[in-house]
Amino acid sequence: MKLKTFAAMKVKKSCTVKDRSLTLKADRHIFARLLVIRGKRDVSLKEVLTYSLGPIPWSLATADGSFVKTVKSKLLDAIEKDVVDSIVDTLPDNCVRIFDGMVIIQQMASLSLARFGEISEYVLKRITSRPGKVIYFVTDQYLDDSLKGSERQRQAASGSIWIHLTRRDQKRPKQFKKYLSDGVNKVDLLRVEEDNVVIGMEESLCSNQEEADTKMFLCCQHAVHRFQNPNICISTVDSDVGILAIYFKQQIHCNMFLEIGSKGKKRILSIQNISEGVGEQMSSALPALHAISGCDSTSAFYGLGKQKVYKIVKSCGRFKETLAQMGDSFDFDTNLFLLVEEMVAQFYGIKGCTSINDALYMKFCTKNKIPEPQQLPPTKDELLLHCQHANYVTCIWKSALTMNTDPPQPEGRGWL
């Protein structure tokens, strides 16, 4: 399957920092020439700016075709600050414990464990060392056609190694971090872990979902049905899980906690307190807000942080209502797009503007100098593709409580 990615849109397949500088300079020259031409010919600059004037949309992609990245944890940080009693000191007794398995395995890269059998024993001791009524150990699947493929490639940019793992007493490679950058190795490692425990089949947890981020909420639902409204604690370092926990608290009736962070930044969040604090409408809007403002599988808007967009959305009921409706199906509802345009225009400081193309033109004209192309809003066409992709990702997240999902191929549903 050939997916339409930012990288595929580039004329050249390789790029360095110098190339990026030259490309941006070339785009600035385009803007400068537009200003000169406007003074000499009857050309509508406003109309010209409705088109993409470069090989890729600079507000949503980097010169090498990658997503624009943002600090995605800032959204959860902003929500925590909004709710007075978001953090609690201790967990209730006999919590159901749900662990993000790959987080634990990744953290072992710094430990001096010599053999794979020792790694297996360490993991088992780690998850059983804390009191818990029952333990869920949840991991990712590694699919060939994955939305997270580009992110995993970025994380493995320094290289990876593959080792055929056949026995528990096999030596661990010295470059363990590179070893863990290959999904095949992680699957082999988990098979060693299976040999250390008694295994039984639980059909209601046999899910085809790719990410542990969503499967952990399927485990929450399973625990509620099995143990009748228990206290549940999810342990992870990924802020995506925190955003989804706030959303799913309305559907999973339990006392939910999130143990998040690493080392000195670890804290326990009361999801119930946060959900009540931000309100039902904001809780429903969070998955789409997280996707549209940038996560592992979607691009961020260049220069726009999570805290800024959260502040804008939480002050507007119409924006919250619109975002809450995104991801209800895999096909983006274009009836929502007019309000999304207004919302994104406000992200860029243009209030009361219902056309993102008009906002782009206004932003261009208010600059005292020729603007950097990545600092301008996307065009309407670019934003629509971004919304289609964000909607697709949001729909996958919202489907977490469905054991087996059958999402359509992402091709034709926005930027990839």
> Considering the chain, what is the average pLDDT of its residues?
85
9-13 mean pLDDT: 45
Say which residue, 157 or 198, is predicted with more confidence: 198
At 251 the pLDDT is: 96
pLDDT tens digits, residue range 143-179? Answer: 766 665 555 555 545 556 777 777 788 888 888 888 8
Q: How confident is the model at residue 22 (pLDDT cuts 50, 70, 90)?
A: very low
239-248 and 212-227 helices cross at what angle (nearest 10)? Answer: 40
Query: Which has the higher per-residue pLDDT, 411 or 349?
Result: 349
Distance (Å, whole) CA 376 – CA 49: 10
Q: Is the pLDDT of residue 275 over 90?
A: yes
Mean pLDDT of 54-73: 89
Of 240, 333, 318, 307, the closest CA to residue 281 belongs to: 318
Q: How many other CB atoms are found less than 10 A from the CB of residue 214?
A: 23
The per-residue pLDDT for 154 is: 55
- Taking a C-beta distance cutoff of 8 angstroms, is the pair 379, 57 a contact? yes
Q: Average pLDDT for residues 397-408, to the nearest whole number? A: 92
pLDDT tens string 238-249: 999 999 999 999
With 90 as the cut, is the pLDDT of residue 267 above it?
yes
> How confident is the model over 281-322, as pLDDT tens digits?
999 999 999 999 999 999 999 999 999 999 999 999 999 999
The Cα diameter of the chain in Å comes to 79
Q: Per-residue confidence at 118, pLDDT binned at 50, 70, 90?
A: confident
Asked whether residue 13 carries a pLDDT value surpassing 50, the answer given is no
